[in-house]
Amino acid sequence: MVAAARAPRQNSRRAVVLDAAARLFAERGYHGTSIRDIAAAAGITPAAIYSHFASKAGLLVAVYEEGVGRIAAALDAALENASGPARLQAACAAHLETLLEGGDYAQVVLRVWPRDVPEAAARLRRLRDSYEARFRRLVPDKHLRLLLLGAMNAAPGWYRPGGESPREIARLFLDRVGVHD
């Protein structure tokens, strides 16, 4: 019974560490954030972080997994409610909504490139590839797919709330690249 009581506490502490890491990686980047910074933001010691993660790179991978998971879940939910050509617009809208409104985890996926963290690059690429596979099914043409994803991934840099909605931006992107419902 003691072990059952401790498990939620450990999971809760892990979640606090992930949230703190996501916030700091989003604000400062991977290399601008130390384990000490994350520990201070999470209200724990650096040693406590290592009880959950073997390294800072391992912590980044966990943040990435959460970020990609959130974006993928939004896209999958959008696709459940769409059919035919409207599926691509629904997927693009869900992608944009998550990036623009999804918080720190989504920003880490955009901001930290696999090549910037060689010790975790293969795992980060696999996460990105697993997400991109969803778009591969919707947009088989590699160049068009990469153009579309690149445009959407740049949106957080110029988007301002109060302008076009993520759904409207998705429609405009698709119109510009010649993909229509």
Give the Å distances, CA to CA, from 173 to 5, 165, 176.
50, 12, 5
Contacts of 17 (CB under 8 A, 6+ apart): 38, 42, 44, 48, 49, 52, 53, 59
Tell me what pLDDT residue 11 has: 61
CA angle 179, 69, 106 (to 5 degrees): 75
Grade residue 9 by pLDDT with cuts at 50, 70 and 90. very low
Q: How many structural domains compose the chain?
A: 1
pLDDT value for 178: 79
The predicted structure's pLDDT at residue 85: 79
Query: Is residue 113 one of the residues assigned to a domain?
Result: yes
Domain that holds residue 162: 2-176
Q: Is 99 among the domain residues?
A: yes
pTM of the model: 0.86
Residue 181 lies in a domain: no
Percentage of the residues of the chain whose pLDDT score is greater than 70: 92
Q: What is the pLDDT of residues 55-87, one digit of tens each?
A: 999 999 999 999 999 999 999 999 998 888 789
Q: For residue 172, what is the domain's CATH number? A: 1.10.357.10
Comparing 46-50, 82-86, 169-173, the range with the smallest average pLDDT is 82-86
